[in-house]
């Protein structure tokens, strides 16, 4: 006689519902904790709900291009501006053309308006120029000329100092560029020049005069040398004047320029590699080399050849003519030295970048130069009175709709309505927390269409619960008890839910890809809530039903459980009758 079984195995697919529910609760706690840690307890609102700033830019012809203001260039400029400040299309910054030479930019409250103004108006003219000479950024006293000194300068006799290191102010680090051959692996071909120690007064003073060119190197025209001596990069006015002059110069002309901090000034040769030769750039956090935030650049095929050629030439020269300057809008953002030719078509700008500064530089380099120059001619504040009224009315309508859904669930599903309401609450908490955290992460802003998308998602989520509940009730109608019904109804409900959510997500993705402006906010919210619907149904609703199926109130089909077999018209279960063995009696 076989021994009785002590226990039964859990039905297939039942898994560990308690662990799954704990995972969801931990995720919710982590998101809410992230909100408090970041100090952001509410989502960023779009300009129609929170107001903001609107400014008008007027197009101006760039030097050498007198007829550049046309419809094509205006649309191109507006597109570049929009990608700079609104890369994902969800920050609610609006960029649109007006008339023949104006662009209107609307920035919602909560966005850094000053930073956005700089991004949309920056022409981003990038060039790689060889360094002819360099010195500290303060004004250099004009030396008294003498016949002997002028003769020595003409012959380059002072080239014996060419090997001395360049002087930098240690209080103002600059990014340097290093080549990257594979991903983020950086070679030693480019090295940053050492920095000088500041004086007790806080200003850096050169221990040596401006470094002259090395023997056999490029000679500095006297006019540029005089201009270099008179330049004072330590003042904002001096840096602005030098930047405007350098940006307006022809690529084939040498220029005088300052670095962005104003601690160094340079005489630079003609442009060796233009910004149009940069194929793309992005900000990356380098954890392998420990350089922090860096900007990785990729060159085009022609740009890679030019870059290899200029670095090969610079590597044969002495300091400082073995350096090249990365000039952005007339200002030097980096001046690395070269030890050997850099091939491969890629390079890395590294230094003391913050995440924001690295992303700003990467955006400007990636999205290219504006075909026109712009100046801000008007700036006004935008109120959110109309949007606030519409939001208030929309929330009232959403609350009424949600109330009707709750009444229907309670009247039709009774006890199962508790599962649906709990799932809706979990979905609402996850949606709110993620939207709040996406504000500082990707500049996501909640506008009226996005609120509409969130309200529509309530119906999508409720529909998923109804599909699962009806599958369970169908199994009970077939005569099965609740625990097998929960597990047998799940595979069919799962397929239906996945197909329905996939169609909704596909529609949201297509809408996001082909639209612009506020409609993208609607599509983004709809896609996000659709993904969360799958997460909630799989990781919360299903495990919760598995646990409730073990409770007597639901398992026995209480009339208020919503799973009463009599109310559902269930068929009686088929049971085999056990017949006792008959024994023949002897006479």
pLDDT digits (tens, 9 = 90+) for 549-558: 888 888 888 8
Q: Mean per-residue pLDDT for 73-98?
A: 74
Q: What is the pLDDT at residue 7?
A: 45
Tokens matching residue 464? 């998923």
**What is the C-alpha separation between 397 and 465, in angstroms, rounded?**
22
Residues 508 and 417 in one domain: yes
Domain membership flag for residue 11: no
Residue-wise pLDDT tens digits, 300-343: 888 888 888 888 888 888 888 888 888 877 888 778 788 778 78
The residue among 307, 340, 369 that closes a domain is 369
As a whole number of angstroms, the distance between CA 301 and CA 343 comes to: 11
Q: What is the CATH number of the domain that holds 96?
A: 3.30.70.3400
Query: pLDDT tens digits for 499-551?
Result: 999 999 999 999 888 876 678 888 899 999 999 999 999 999 999 999 998 88
pLDDT at site 283:
85
Q: Would residue 155 count as lying in a domain?
A: no
Query: Same domain, yes or no, for 414 and 327?
Result: no
Residues 529 and 451 in one domain: yes
Out of 316, 348, 382, pick the residue that ends a domain.
382
Q: What is the pLDDT of residues 363-385, one digit of tens each?
A: 666 665 676 778 888 877 777 66
In a shared domain, residues 561 and 521 = yes
Tally of structural domains, the chain? 3
Q: Residue 62: pLDDT band by 50, 70, 90 thresholds?
A: low
Give the pLDDT score at 142. 62
Task: With beta carbons less than 8 A apart as the criterion, state whether 299 and 179 touch.
Answer: no
Are 390 and 459 contained in the same domain? yes
Which long-range contacts link 197-205 to residues 24+ away (Cβ below 8 Å)?
A: 197/170, 198/169, 198/170, 198/171, 202/171, 203/138, 203/234, 204/136, 204/138, 204/167, 204/168, 204/169, 204/170, 204/171, 204/263, 205/136, 205/138
Let me know if residue 522 belongs to a domain: yes
**What's the CA gap between 419 and 210, in Å, rounded?**
77
Confidence tier at 186 by pLDDT (50, 70, 90): very low
Does 582 fall in a domain? no
In this predicted structure, the answer to whether residue 76 has a pLDDT above a threshold of 60 is: yes
Distance CA 310, CA 324 (A): 9
Please give the Cα distance from 86 to 78 (Å, whole number).
11
* Whether residues 331 and 454 fall in one domain: no
- Quote the CA–CA distance of 569 and 565 in Å, as a whole number: 6
- What is the rounded CA–CA span in Å between residue 485 and residue 469? 10
Q: Name the one residue in this structure whose structure tokens are 């008007």.
A: 378
Q: Are 72 and 187 contained in the same domain?
A: no
Q: What is the pLDDT of residue 201?
A: 33
Query: For residues 218 and 130, what is the distance between their CA atoms, to the nearest angstrom?
Result: 10
Question: Do 195 and 105 share a structural domain?
Answer: no
**Dihedrals phi, psi of 37, to nearest 5 degrees:** -65, -40
pLDDT digit string, tens, across residues 381-398: 777 665 677 778 877 887
Judge if 214 and 275 occupy the same domain.
yes
Residues 353 and 240 in one domain: yes
Report yes or no on 233 lying in a domain: yes
Give me the pLDDT at residue 433, please: 92
User: Which CATH number belongs to the domain containing residue 171 in this structure?
Assistant: 3.30.1360.200
In a domain, 193, yes or no: yes
Residues 343, 431, single domain; the answer is no
Instruction: Tell which residue, 548, 567, 572, 411, has the closest CA to residue 482.
Output: 548
In this structure, are 237 and 339 located in the same domain?
yes
Residue 477: give its domain's CATH number. Answer: 1.20.1640.10
- Asked if 472 and 563 touch (Cβ cutoff 8 Å), the reply is yes
Give the end of a domain, one of 369, 404, 421.
Answer: 369
pLDDT of residue 21: 92
Estimate to the nearest angstrom the gap between the alpha carbon of 170 and the chain centroid.
Answer: 31
Residue 519 within any structural domain of the chain: yes
Q: Which two tokens stand for residue 102?
A: 């104006």
> What is the residue range of 111's domain?
52-119+377-382
Mean pLDDT of all residues belonging to the chain = 75
Q: Is residue 156 part of a domain?
A: no
pLDDT average, residue stretch 451-468: 85
Q: Identify the band that residue 123 occupies on the pLDDT scale cut at 50, 70 and 90.
A: low
Two tokens, residue 244: 């405007």
């Amino acid at each position: 006689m076989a021994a009785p079984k002590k226990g039964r195995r859990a039905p297939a697919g039942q898994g560990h519902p308690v662990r799954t529910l704990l995972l969801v609760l931990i995720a919710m706690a982590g998101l809410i904790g992230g909100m408090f840690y970041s100090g952001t307890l509410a989502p960023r609102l779009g300009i129609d709900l929170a107001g903001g700033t609107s400014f008008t830019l007027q197009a101006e012809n760039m030097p050498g291009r007198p007829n550049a203001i046309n419809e094509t260039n205006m649309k191109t400029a507006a597109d570049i501006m929009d990608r700079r400040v609104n890369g994902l299309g969800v920050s609610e910054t609006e960029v649109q053309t007006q008339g023949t030479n104006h662009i209107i930019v609307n920035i919602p409250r909560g966005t850094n308006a000053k930073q956005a103004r700089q991004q949309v108006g920056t022409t981003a003219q990038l060039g790689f120029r060889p360094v002819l000479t360099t010195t500290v950024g303060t004004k250099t006293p004009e030396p008294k000329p003498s016949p002997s000194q002028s003769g020595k300068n003409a012959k380059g006799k002072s080239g014996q100092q060419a090997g001395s290191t360049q002087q930098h102010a240690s209080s103002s680090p600059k990014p340097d560029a290093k080549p990257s051959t594979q991903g983020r692996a950086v070679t030693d071909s480019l090295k940053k020049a050492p920095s000088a120690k500041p004086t007790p007064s806080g200003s850096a003073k050169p221990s040596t005069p401006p470094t002259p060119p090395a023997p056999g190197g490029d000679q500095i025209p006297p006019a540029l040398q005089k201009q270099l001596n008179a330049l004072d990069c330590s003042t904002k006015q001096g840096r602005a004047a030098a930047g405007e002059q350098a940006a307006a110069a022809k690529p084939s002309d040498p220029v005088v320029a300052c670095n962005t901090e104003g601690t160094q000034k340079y005489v630079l040769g003609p442009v060796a590699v233009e910004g149009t030769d940069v194929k793309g750039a992005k900000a990356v956090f380098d954890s392998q080399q420990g350089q922090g935030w860096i900007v990785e650049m990729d060159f085009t095929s022609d740009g890679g050849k030019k870059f290899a050629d200029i670095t090969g030439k610079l590597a044969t020269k002495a300091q400082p003519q073995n350096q090249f300057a990365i000039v952005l809008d007339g200002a030097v953002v980096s001046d690395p030295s070269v030890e050997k030719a850099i091939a491969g078509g890629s390079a890395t700008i590294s230094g003391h970048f913050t995440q924001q500064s690295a992303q700003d530089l990467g955006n400007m380099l990636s999205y290219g130069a504006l075909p026109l120059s712009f100046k801000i001619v008007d700036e006004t504040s935008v109120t959110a009175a109309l949007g606030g009224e519409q939001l208030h009315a929309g929330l009232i309508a959403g609350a009424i709709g949600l109330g009707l859904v709750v009444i229907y669930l309670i009247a039709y599903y009774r006890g199962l309505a508790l599962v649906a309401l709990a799932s809706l609450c979990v979905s609402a908490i996850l949606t709110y927390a993620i939207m709040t955290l996406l504000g500082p992460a990707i500049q996501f802003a909640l506008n009226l269409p996005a609120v509409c998308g969130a309200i529509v998602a309530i119906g999508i989520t409720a529909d998923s619960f109804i599909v699962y509940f009806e599958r369970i009730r169908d199994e009970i109608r077939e005569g099965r008890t609740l625990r097998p019904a929960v597990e047998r109804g799940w595979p069919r409900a799962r397929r239906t839910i996945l197909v329905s959510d996939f169609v909704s997500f596909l529609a949201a993705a297509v809408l996001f890809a082909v639209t612009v402006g506020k409609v993208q906010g609607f599509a983004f919210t709809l896609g996000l809530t659709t993904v969360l619907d799958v997460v909630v149904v799989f990781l919360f609703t299903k495990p919760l039903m598995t646990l409730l199926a073990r409770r007597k109130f639901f398992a026995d089909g209480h009339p208020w459980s919503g799973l009463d077999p009599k109310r559902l018209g269930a068929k009686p279960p088929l049971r085999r009758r056990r017949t006792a063995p008959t024994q023949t009696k002897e006479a």
